[in-house]
Chains A and B, each alone.
Chain A
Amino acid sequence: MALPKIETRNVCKVYETVAGPMTAVDDFSLDVADNEFVCIVGPSGCGKSTYLRMLAGLDTHTSGTIQIRPGNDPKKPLNSVVFQEYAVFPWKTVIENVTFGLQMRGIGKEQRLETANYWLERVGLRKFANYYPYQISGGMKQRVSIIRALANDPEVLLMDEPLGALDAQTRIVLQDELLRIWEETHKTVVYITHSLDEAILLGDRVILMTAHPGRLLTTFHIDIKRPRTIETLNTPEFAELRGAIWEQLGKEVTRAMEMQA
């Protein structure tokens, strides 16, 4: 078997706070294969964002090992993050935001614009290329944030609740869009979400985390066949799997609570 693209072994994160040490992530191990779409679901505050930041190298871990294996092309960035808070730069236009990663890597202007225009076209933002973020809606901002990561063409894509703050309709539109983009690119993705349905729809694997401290509770393999679309939500296959997961989930949660008691 090929080596995993992402390798996380026994990772702990302890925040030193005034009130004493606070364990945010405890003994978390996760391997992600190349071209795999892994979803992480867990209650608020369980350390999902913390894990993603450590994965991205934006935060240190207290113990354990984290590794993202570089690919064949050494110029490709290892990872790009879609942040929970969008983090679209208000002082840059839409297109400047999308080309930001490429610009930082010293890629020529012509190629930058070509890539950016492709992605803007892709998500229907071509007309808004020269708008500033304050001039576009929240859904558009999140689209900008997503294609900023995609345009950067990283080895792995790390997405932190990218659709969390959106209304139901926009969410569905973007879920569909994400599915289509993934079918084309087959990127390795770690995708954090609150919604189990979204995780089942998008992921090859769904990881459930417990709260306080964040531990790995259980893993589900989602073998609904690809390509999936938003219609997949209405298939009997989806409903069946979803029911099975909820059933098992109930047991797992009860067991976890008993263990803590």
Chain B
Amino acid sequence: MTETLERATSGMFRRIPSVRNMQLGLPAALLLLTVVAIVWNGALYLTRLWAPLWWLALFGDFALTVVAAERIGRCVPPTYRKLYERTLAIGFPVMALVAWQLIVDAGILSPLWFPQPTRIAKALWDVTVNYDRASGTSLLGRPWLIPSRFEHDGWAGVWALFAESHVWATLGRVGAGFVIGAIPGILLGVVMGINRTVRLMLDTTLSAIYVLPKIAIFPLVMLMFADPFGEGPKIAVVALSVFFLMAINTMAGVRDIDPVFLMAGRNYGARGFQLLWHVILPAAMPVIFAGLRLALGTALIVIISVEFLRAKQGVGFMTFYYWEVMNPERMYAGLVVVMVLGVVLAYGLQALQRRLMPWQR
């Protein structure tokens, strides 16, 4: 479908008259586009309009880049197609980072809000290799110290290193909350999907709680724990948000199972747990995994917000802490870490799905 859409709209940029009618060769076309870009930016710069209208200037530059990339794309032989597409997918973000760097260097955007990518990278390096004495933390727990600490203090020393890490703190909370919430959620969803009475009794309540922003129940959850500032409430609030989402999703997945599979299962002798294991769970698996992906996003939102609010450690805490001490580079570094965590976890989930569902194309 997307391919048809792409074909239908691919002429859009080529319809720009100068490029289409002149039928230029590749070098000439690129030269022309470069000239247009220089004129566009130069004119805006000389009239002192570039800085106030930076968004318009950048939009024009983006459009010119698209035209140039499409023009190059037309000359790429099929064997290099993949390489070209990968270059586009990686090259553009790199270019955007370079543009960001230059714009801030030129003083058009304030480094206070948009610190240069190089400075963010430097900050990321700093928080990784350095131990922050004030909060007693480091980003990854300085894994290169593991051998020497192990020699001195044994496993306790290694554990202390893990315990000082922001990333491991967040990962631990998300992981524990995810497992504690997802497994009962899936089981309740299966029961609700199979049993009409249970479904009718619980559906309204679950849907109502599901739409509640999870962070809103955090104070309540804190009240329920003996140590309101410990790990318990943080894990619990992640678990709760995952639980409701998985219960509702799994229920929908189970109800959507083609009844003929259930009939086949029963007819060939599957009962109770066998039916669950061999028919119901695999049949609902695609919807369950769609739910898990959603749940992962929610879990990250919840844990980062909770760490903003009440934590002495964690990637969310780190981001917020450096905002409080007005260190935007390190704050950005925190955001980068959150992004990387999200991508890595989503990738892990995808790998798990491929392992558990080899029957899917």
B260 & A133 in contact (Cβ 8 Å cutoff): no
A104: contacting residue among B261, B263, B274, B359, CB under 8 A:
B274
**Cα distance A90–B278 in the bound complex, in angstroms:** 11
Contacts of A80 in B (CB 8 A): 267-268
A38-78: CB near B (< 8 Å → 1, else 0) gives: 00000000000000010010100000000000000000010
Contact status of A91 and B263, CB under 8 A, knowing A105-B269, A152-B268:
no
A132 & B267 in contact (Cβ 8 Å cutoff): no
A81 & B264 in contact (Cβ 8 Å cutoff): yes
Contacts of A87 in B (CB 8 A): 258, 260-261, 263-264
B330-361: CB near A (< 8 Å → 1, else 0) gives: 00000000000000000000000000011111
The closest CB in chain B to the CB of A91 belongs to: B282
The closest CB in chain A to the CB of B279 belongs to: A89
Judge whether B283 is part of the interface by a CB distance below 8 angstroms. yes
Contacts of A133 in B (CB 8 A): 359
B270 & A104 in contact (Cβ 8 Å cutoff): yes
A75-99: CB near B (< 8 Å → 1, else 0) gives: 0010111010101011111000000
Contacts of B269 in A (CB 8 A): 77, 101, 104-105
Give the contacts of B273-326 with A (CB-CB under 8 A).
274, 278-279, 282-283, 285
B102-120: CB near A (< 8 Å → 1, else 0) gives: 0000000000000000000
Judge whether A119 is part of the interface by a CB distance below 8 angstroms. no
Judge whether A148 is part of the interface by a CB distance below 8 angstroms. yes
**Cα distance A92–B266 in the bound complex, in angstroms:** 16
Contacts of B361 in A (CB 8 A): 134
Contact status of A90 and B268, CB under 8 A, knowing A85-B260, A100-B278, A104-B274:
no
**Cα distance A93–B357 in the bound complex, in angstroms:** 12
Interface size class of B (residues with CB under 8 A): 20 to 34
B263 & A58 in contact (Cβ 8 Å cutoff): yes
**Cα distance A81–B264 in the bound complex, in angstroms:** 8
**Cα distance A79–B269 in the bound complex, in angstroms:** 10
A58 & B359 in contact (Cβ 8 Å cutoff): no
A89 & B263 in contact (Cβ 8 Å cutoff): no
Contact status of A53 and B263, CB under 8 A, knowing A90-B359, A134-B359, A152-B268:
yes
**Cα distance A100–B274 in the bound complex, in angstroms:** 11
Task: With both chains docked as a complex, state the minimum distance between the C-beta of B361 and any C-beta of chain A, in angstroms.
Answer: 6
* Interface residues contributed by chain A, number (CB under 8 Å): 24
Contacts of B268 in A (CB 8 A): 77, 80, 100-101, 104, 148, 152
A83 & B359 in contact (Cβ 8 Å cutoff): no
**Cα distance A77–B357 in the bound complex, in angstroms:** 30
Give the contacts of A2-16 with B (CB-CB under 8 A).
none
Contacts of A81 in B (CB 8 A): 263-264, 267
Contacts of A91 in B (CB 8 A): 282-283, 285, 357, 359
B283 & A79 in contact (Cβ 8 Å cutoff): no
Q: Identify which of B258, B261, B267 gathers the most chain A CB atoms within 10 Å of its CB.
A: B267
Contacts of B283 in A (CB 8 A): 91
A102-145: CB near B (< 8 Å → 1, else 0) gives: 00110000000000000000000000000011100000000000
Give the contacts of B249-273 with A (CB-CB under 8 A).
258, 260-261, 263-264, 266-270
Task: With both chains docked as a complex, state the minimum distance between the C-beta of A115 and any C-beta of chain B, in angstroms.
Answer: 14
**Cα distance A148–B260 in the bound complex, in angstroms:** 15
Give the contacts of B204-247 with A (CB-CB under 8 A).
none
B267 & A89 in contact (Cβ 8 Å cutoff): no
**Cα distance A168–B232 in the bound complex, in angstroms:** 65
Contacts of B359 in A (CB 8 A): 90-93, 132-134
**Cα distance A90–B286 in the bound complex, in angstroms:** 12
**Cα distance A79–B268 in the bound complex, in angstroms:** 9
**Cα distance A134–B357 in the bound complex, in angstroms:** 13
A58 & B279 in contact (Cβ 8 Å cutoff): no
Contacts of A92 in B (CB 8 A): 278, 282, 359
A79: contacting residue among B263, B267, B274, CB under 8 A:
B267
Task: With both chains docked as a complex, state the minimum distance between the C-beta of A30 and any C-beta of chain B, in angstroms.
Answer: 20
**Cα distance A133–B359 in the bound complex, in angstroms:** 8
Q: Identify which of B263, B270, B282 gathers the most chain A CB atoms within 10 Å of its CB.
A: B263
Contact status of A89 and B358, CB under 8 A, knowing A77-B269, A79-B267, A81-B267:
no
Contacts of B260 in A (CB 8 A): 83, 85, 87
**Cα distance A85–B267 in the bound complex, in angstroms:** 14
Task: With both chains docked as a complex, state the minimum distance between the C-beta of A238 and any C-beta of chain B, in angstroms.
Answer: 34
The closest CB in chain A to the CB of B261 belongs to: A87
A89 & B270 in contact (Cβ 8 Å cutoff): no
Q: Identify which of B268, B282, B359 gathers the most chain A CB atoms within 10 Å of its CB.
A: B268
The closest CB in chain B to the CB of A100 belongs to: B268
Give the contacts of B152-182 with A (CB-CB under 8 A).
none
Task: With both chains docked as a complex, state the minimum distance between the C-beta of A175 and any C-beta of chain B, in angstroms.
Answer: 23
Task: With both chains docked as a complex, state the minimum distance between the C-beta of A23 and any C-beta of chain B, in angstroms.
Answer: 21
B357 & A83 in contact (Cβ 8 Å cutoff): no
The closest CB in chain B to the CB of A131 belongs to: B359
The closest CB in chain A to the CB of B361 belongs to: A134
Q: Identify which of A58, A92, A93, A152 gathers the most chain B CB atoms within 10 Å of its CB.
A: A58
The 9 A-B residue pairs with the shortest CB-CB distance, nearest first, are A104-B269, A91-B282, A101-B268, A87-B264, A132-B359, A87-B260, A91-B359, A58-B263, A81-B267
- 12 CB < 8 A contacts A-B: A53-B263, A56-B267, A58-B263, A58-B266, A79-B267, A81-B267, A83-B263, A85-B258, A87-B258, A89-B264, A104-B270, A152-B268
With A104-B269, A104-B274 given, name 14 new contacts (CB 8 A).
A58-B267, A77-B268, A81-B263, A83-B264, A87-B260, A89-B279, A90-B359, A91-B282, A91-B285, A91-B357, A100-B278, A101-B268, A104-B270, A134-B359
